[in-house]
Structure 1
């Protein structure tokens, strides 16, 4: 039996997917979820083969939910907004169903996933969203992270600085740091250049946290932040920081 989840904040939308799945007796709905927080926990618990996922939901979006997973199941997006289609396929979605969709369109999406699963040509949609995927407005104002079994939403105003850490980025806040599986280049492209500056290959600082720039050893400098942390500045980063500050 194939296990699936339905993750959508609209009860009628979940009911419609349930109804359409009656034409696919080999697919079992193991749980319905009304938001991305429930979705992450249900995926960890049930390890489904396939999920039907809405995008615009309370608390976190469908894309933000996928970023919290180490390995994603096959994903068929179900949404009322066509603006997310490009990002959905960049996130390796199997298909993108635009509400209201028909039984025929639904069946075609399921058939497509079954063929991919059988051929193993698309890794059952198991890849994570790509770094160069189109950014959404939410990503510019908050960072969603997983801390143990908890999910935290960090407003960018709470970020002190970012630090590269292997395949992750350390998001430093007053209450500690959190790991996000992204790159520094991603955040350099996503966060506002009037709020954050890439000052080193491994560091990006919030301008609101900068207190002063100090010389450090020969021909080098460090940025002193309000919490006392000293962040090294590369030559390029030093020039970029001075340009932003107008000095």
Structure 2
């Protein structure tokens, strides 16, 4: 017997939400439990209602669908519904459940639901793959970082980031206003921050170049970076080499 799927729609366009609802209304094993107009609302609803499957747009106001995925405690199956084809290759690289390019037919949508149904009926879940998927934002350098702090979502422009510190499976993001914790790797930020603006000086630190005040030697071949607020950060040998290459000295 097929398990009833609890479904949620996250889509900023009312016409698109209405079309999805009309396609889904007669599905025998799917219960639509809600709809959201933006990613902020989506995070709250997913963590609260714990749907089995989410129909998710990518380009939305406030935060994108990919940014929203980073903030979830509950990890549902994701079916992307979007007008933008440039994200498809990466989505499939990370085994997204499906990627529907607008305008799509009812038959195409039902086929996507069948794939989710089959996985769930077999007891399979895409939690780890969804975590992988959320590491991908867009094929450009980050211009902002989205962080959830209890019930609040902060959007931090990268030009406000002073430095980033590794903390096991998390990072601490330091700004002029304080610090924020995010479950991401240093490798993710090293790859996704513009190297003209940020440099990894140590396995534990990535620094905004503009926030560096001086580089000081304290032992033979040992250095520290001193930031504008007098914070001192260790520099590895590789980090020192990167600094020299970046600042051309």
TM-score range, shorter chain: over 0.9
**Structure 1: how far apart are the matches of 2:136 and 2:54?**
22
Deviation per CA, 1:15-36: give whole Å up to 9, x if none. Answer: 1111111231332222110000
The aligned runs of 1:1-80 (5 Å cut-off) are: 1-80=4-83
C-alpha deviation, 1:89, in angstroms: 2.6
**Structure 2: how far apart are the matches of 1:186 and 1:39?**
24
Which residue number in structure 2 is paired with residue 150 of structure 1?
Answer: 152
Which range is displaced more, 12-21 or 180-189?
A: 180-189
Deviation per CA, 1:187-210: give whole Å up to 9, x if none. Answer: 111111110001001101000100
Which range is displaced more, 27-36 or 55-64?
A: 27-36
Of 97, 105, 109, the residue aligned with 1:102 is 105
C-alpha deviation, 1:4, in angstroms: 1.2
TM-aligned CA distance change 1:158 to 1:171, over 3 Å: same
Which residue number in structure 2 is paired with residue 118 of structure 1?
Answer: 121
Check whether the contact 2:163–2:174 (CA below 8 A) recurs between aligned residues. Answer: yes
1:179 aligns with 2:178: no
Q: How many residue pairs are counted as aligned between the two chains? A: 246
Deviation per CA, 1:123-160: give whole Å up to 9, x if none. Answer: 14564342796551675111111111111110000000
TM-score by length of 1: 0.93
Task: Report SS of the residue matched to 1:86.
Answer: helix
Gaps spanning 5+ residues in structure 2: where? none
Deviation per CA, 1:32-70: give whole Å up to 9, x if none. Answer: 100000000001111111110000000111011001113
Gaps spanning 5+ residues in structure 1: where? none
Check whether the contact 1:86–1:134 (CA below 8 A) recurs between aligned residues. Answer: no
**Structure 1: how far apart are the matches of 2:222 and 2:133?**
31
Task: Report SS of the residue matched to 2:244.
Answer: helix
1:93 aligns with 2:96: yes
- Provide the alpha-carbon RMSD of the alignment: 1.8
